[in-house]
């Protein structure tokens, strides 16, 4: 590979490693991305980095896309190229950044996996709240599933946020937006059982709802670990984590009600397209709805 092509890459990688002190793994990702581009530049007989045009870079991106690289991977590669050209411009080795005008192809929006109703029942009903930790963990899982809270929202809950009379929980979500979420009878019973056990240890001055045995607020990582523990203990093959319970809440609500707008409000999504991604109705359910609702779909016996 010609020096005019490879030397600036080496200088850029040295800058990342020695000046910006990025991790070896991150520098390795930059190296892999830029060497792929360098190979393409060589094949196109481009003499040096100053003459690479946006149109040629688009051809390179299209080539990667045809090879089967995902939109997410190509997006990361474009980010590497943009950073590389910012370095070249800073040191007078290029006048413009051809990657600025190039967009990555859109990534496919993958639906997060969910737990079905039977799996949720097994997880919740088989978690016996006979200890401080088990009672707390069951209340956490019941509230996740009953209200569709985000992990950060649940971890930040304080006792004043829960309205036990009206079965409502007040949370502050993304963008500091407040919303009120209902919770059901099972969650109410689990919360009361947990708070009874908590009070037995005398943590009356701690405002956090969910705490450790030492009286400290339970952190997000600890909540994640506890859900993973119960998933394994109950024999659920797929990993159990907070977002899967939130997604199960949304999926089961949508399947039962068909009211996407209501689910959007309950989840605290600003854009309904986000709700469409995080909730799914299986094709079997859709087929039943279609067969029962569409006048041309209803099966009639020939007479």
| Catalytic positions | 150, 174, 243, 246, 269, 278
SS3 217: strand
Name the token pair of 287: 């087929």
Tell me how long the chain is: 303
Distance CA 126, CA 121 (A): 8
DSSP-H helix ranges across 107-259: 117-125, 132-147, 151-155, 185-200, 220-233, 242-257
Distance CA 215, CA 9 (A): 53
DSSP-H helix ranges across 44-180: 54-66, 71-90, 117-125, 132-147, 151-155
- In the chain, DSSP finds a helix count (H) and a strand count (E) of 13, 3
Are the C-beta atoms of 238 and 116 separated by less than 8 Å? Answer: no
Are the C-beta atoms of 81 and 37 separated by less than 8 Å? Answer: yes
Name the token pair of 190: 């689990």
Q: What angle do CA 189, 228, 193 make, to 5 degrees?
A: 15
């Amino acid at each position: 590979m010609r020096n005019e092509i490879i030397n600036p890459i080496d200088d850029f990688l040295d800058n990342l490693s020695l000046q910006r002190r990025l991790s070896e793994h991150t520098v390795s990702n930059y190296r892999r991305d830029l060497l792929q581009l360098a190979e393409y530049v060589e094949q196109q007989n481009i003499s040096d980095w100053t003459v690479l045009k946006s149109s040629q870079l688009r051809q390179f991106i299209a080539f990667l896309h045809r090879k089967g690289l995902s939109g997410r991977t190509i997006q990361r590669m474009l980010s590497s190229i943009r950073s590389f050209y910012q370095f070249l411009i800073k040191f007078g080795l290029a006048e413009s950044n051809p990657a600025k005008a190039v967009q990555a192809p859109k990534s496919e929006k993958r639906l997060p996996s969910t737990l079905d109703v039977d799996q949720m029942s097994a997880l919740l009903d088989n978690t016996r709240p006979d200890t401080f930790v088990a009672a707390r963990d069951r209340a956490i899982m019941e509230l996740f599933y009953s209200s569709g809270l985000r992990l950060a929202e649940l971890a930040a809950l304080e006792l004043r946020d829960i309205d036990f009379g009206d079965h409502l929980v007040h949370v502050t979500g993304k963008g500091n937006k407040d919303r009120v979420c209902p919770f059901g009878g099972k969650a109410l019973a689990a919360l009361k059982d947990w708070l009874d056990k908590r009070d037995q240890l005398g943590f009356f001055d701690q405002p956090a709802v969910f705490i450790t045995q030492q009286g400290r607020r339970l952190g997000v990582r600890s909540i994640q670990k506890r859900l993973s523990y119960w998933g394994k203990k109950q024999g659920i093959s797929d990993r159990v984590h907070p977002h899967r319970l939130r997604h199960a809440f949304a999926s089961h609500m949508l399947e039962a009600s068909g009211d996407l707008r209501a689910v959007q409000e309950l989840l605290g999504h600003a854009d309904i397209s986000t709700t469409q991604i995080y909730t799914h109705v299986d094709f079997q359910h859709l087929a039943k709805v279609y067969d029962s609702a569409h006048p041309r779909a209803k099966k009639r016996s020939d007479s």
